[in-house]
Each structure stands twice: as structure tokens, then as C-alpha cells.
A and B are shown apart, each in its own frame.
Chain A
Amino acid sequence: MQESVTRPSSDGHAIVVEGLTRTFRRETAVDHVSFRVARGRFFGFLGPNGAGKSTTIRMLTGLLRPSSGDAVIEGARLSGDLLALKRRIGVLTEELPLYERLTGEEHLLFAARMHGLPATEARGRTHELLEFLSLADERGKLVVDYSQGMRKKLALACALVHGPSVLFLDEPLNGIDPVSGRVVTDLLRRLTARGVTLFFTSHVLDVVERLCDEVAVIDHGRIVAQGTLAEIRSQRALSGDASLEDVFLRLVSADVKRENLSWIG
């Protein structure tokens, strides 16, 4: 199969998004979004609930057709050969699409085989990932019997098993215990150090502040800010000690209610 792949961009960007838009019936969920992410960066994609984060991820991973606009992921164009794009990426979506009637080990092996890994290598990586994510003792348990945190770890393992060059992670730390959370964040850091690009969403802003080199904030389907935290602070004329949470609340014009409940006081 001929891959409709553009040459990797000379400016070193792993993700280039141009005017990406998605309309559902009359509602525009993502509205002409454009941004670039340099290779090997830990990129945080933030926004309130319903801002368009997950829709953007689904479009960038080829699971949802954009209404207009295009993107290039590691040289593979979204409007071109989707299989070429899917070979380069790993995805952890919010819904955790897992087969509940497979065991954790079977699931991971299945993912490895579907990515074309030879049987021996698939088994080796499966074993390592299960050990690494503390799922080894539960390898024979059906996914339907896994807790939410275990499902999240398994879905993450499926996204990692083929060694992708770009990882899309939608709320990867949600529901994971602190010990596993530390293991996962350390792993993600190591991956970026090796040149893997991470596209990361989270509502836990101090984690984003700690991990991400750069962030983009989306609100009502539009990018309202992009850059390093320092850059955004200076763009918005915020003081140097303003946290990401302060910046975020300012950017999305959040109306934090201060009134008290009458019966609580």
C-alpha cells in the first residue's frame, strides 16, 4: 500500500495542525484549531469539560473525520493514508476501549500482534509492561473484572506496546493510584527524553505544570493560548508566580462561584 506521507517537516515538528474543525449537527465542537508541537515535547492540551479536547484527540488519531482542516503527525497526513498515521501513534482515549472478555495478558498480546510485532517480541514486551505497571498478578483476570485504575494502566500499556513516536494520552492519570501514577509519569518523562512526543490532557493542573514543556488551552472549541507557562504568563500580563491554575481560570473566563449555600452558611 502506498503511503501518502509528506516528508518529515524540516522544522522538527511532530504534530502540525492547521484549521482543524469539527461540527456535530449545528454545534461546532472544534473550531479552526491550529498549533504545532515540536518533536520530543511534553505537550499539555487543556480545557474545561466540553471544550473540545477529546474531539481534537479523536480527529488527530484518525477516529473522527474532521469537517475541515488537516494535520500532519510525524509526516503522515490525516487526510491521507490513515494506516500510515496509525503506525506512528499510540492512543489512550477517555473511553478506554477495551475488550472486557479478554484477560489483561491476552489483550496486550492482541494489541502487540495487531501492531505487527513478531510473536516472541510481543510476548516479551507484554510481560515487561505487565510487570512494569504492576498488572502481572492480574494478567489472567478478565478485563471486565479490572478496577478503573487497572483498566487505565492496561489501556496505557496497549498504547505503548509498539513503541510509537507520538503518544496521545487523554487523562492518563485519572483513577490511577499515587504509586502507579509516579511510575507512569517517570515513564512518560523517559519517553520524551528519548524523542517521543507526548500529547497529554489532564484536569489535574499541577501535574500538567510539573510535566509539560508547553501547553495549549482550548475553550469553546478554539485555542485561546499556546506556549510555555512563562510565555502565556507574559502574554496575559500575569505575575511570575501565577500558577497554571490561575492562568487557566483567567484564560477560560471561569466564573468561580463564591456564594454560600443557605443551609450550610
Chain B
Amino acid sequence: MSKGVLVDLSKCIGCGSCTVACKMYNQNQWIEDRSPTCGAQATLADQNWTVIKSFEVEKDGKPVWRFVKEQCLHCREPACASACFAKAFQKTPEGPVVYYPSLCVGCRYCMVACPFSVPKYEWEKPLPYVTKCMMCASRVTNGQAPACVSVCPTHVMTFGDRDALLEQAKTIIANNPGYVQHIYGEKEVGGTEWIYISDVPFEKLGFKTGLTEKPLPSYTSTFMTYTPIFGGAWAVVLGGIALFTHRKDKVASKEKSESDPAPRKTIEPDERRPS
């Protein structure tokens, strides 16, 4: 049973406590001049594993503020882990998708593969790594909520079993007509551990809508699973050809030595050129 987080965007006041908790727990630097953590310009970056992005939208004819917490959504079948040939991204049974820097070769395929543009790169470091939210995996393994969830003063986020949270979200939006009748992350790209409910349409809040409900790795896994088999078969074919050609040479030289038993004079490397 994997863990997840339910985010109720209608409760967020945009205080940014979660971004501070994230920086402190993960010992990330503040890079506000380059990538702010809060506000309309907030962007995920190598040091920003979660941000609060503010949106000014219209609701019931009045302008309102809404604040969206962005971080890795921890897909149930992550495309980043599928694209990574070094196994630097691994899905844990508890839910978090964890990144192992010691395995990473820095190819950035994960950044291209991720449908939510979550993995970021240390473009300014001499020896760069990829970075992203890891859902405080060690805390989750011990049954604790991620750092950002635990500090939220307005209880925007609920940590728990993902299936139970999904039922809870369904109950909330069914009993409150003010909510958008959609749970973001329930089915997107095969489902994510972090799920969102909102009272403002998701497409107005920077969410990528219209995503497939098919898990992204399923597009490639059907033929990528044959890669080792293909490699093995190809080795057998090439090995067979090599054996055949060498046998031909061996037979030819044997026939030659039988017809001409005098040993050929070989030239030692040192005798080639007098010094």
C-alpha cells in the first residue's frame, strides 16, 4: 500500500512554510534572485524542490488569488525511472520516487521524460547532478509525513494511504459543489501519489491537463524489454560468423603448411628499422 498526499488547493494561503521546511530538511540553498520559491514567478529549480506559485484568477465574477504547491507528483509508474538507464530513479514500495546521485550519469533523459518537468539540473555546478523532490522518503518509510506536509498551518495537505486519500477526495468533491469535479493525479499518466482537488479549474492554475491516462512507461516497455534478448541474440549471431571465418582461415593455413613445410621467416619488430 503506497503512501500519498492529498492537496486541497482551496485551503492554501500561500504562506510558503512548506518551501522553507523543504529547504531546511533537504539543506537546499536559497536562490531567490534566480528562481523564487513563492509568487507568480516561482519555479522549480535545482535548489527549489517545492514552490508555491500564485495565480490571479476569476471566480464567480471576482478576481481571487490561488496558490499552487508544485513538487514531484511521484507517479505510480514514473517515466523518469523508465527513461533512466542507470537506475538512478527508483520507485519505492512506500510511494516516493527516489533519485540516487551516485548512480546518475548526468544524461538528463529523465528531464525530457517527465510529463510534469519536475527533475532539474545543476547547470552551474562543475560536476552537476539532477535534483528533485523525493517526498522525504526516509520520513515516509518511518510512517512520518514529508517535511512540507508536517508544517502546513492551514492543513492544505493530508498524508496517508493513497487509496484512502482518494476516497476522501471523492467524498469532499461530491459533497461540495464548489469544487471542480476532478481529482488531478487520480488517473493522469496512470495515477500519481500526490493528488489535488481545487475550486478553480486546474488548467487556470498551471496544471497540465489533457494528459493520457496510460502510464507513460507502457508506451516503450513492450519493445524495450526485448533489448537484452536482442543483444544476446546478436552476440550469438556475430560469434557464429566469427567462428566460421576463423575456421576458414585455420583450414587454409593448415592446408598451406602441409603443402609447404618450410617455416616462414618472421621479422621481429626490432629488426624492422635499424637504429
A and B found bound together: no
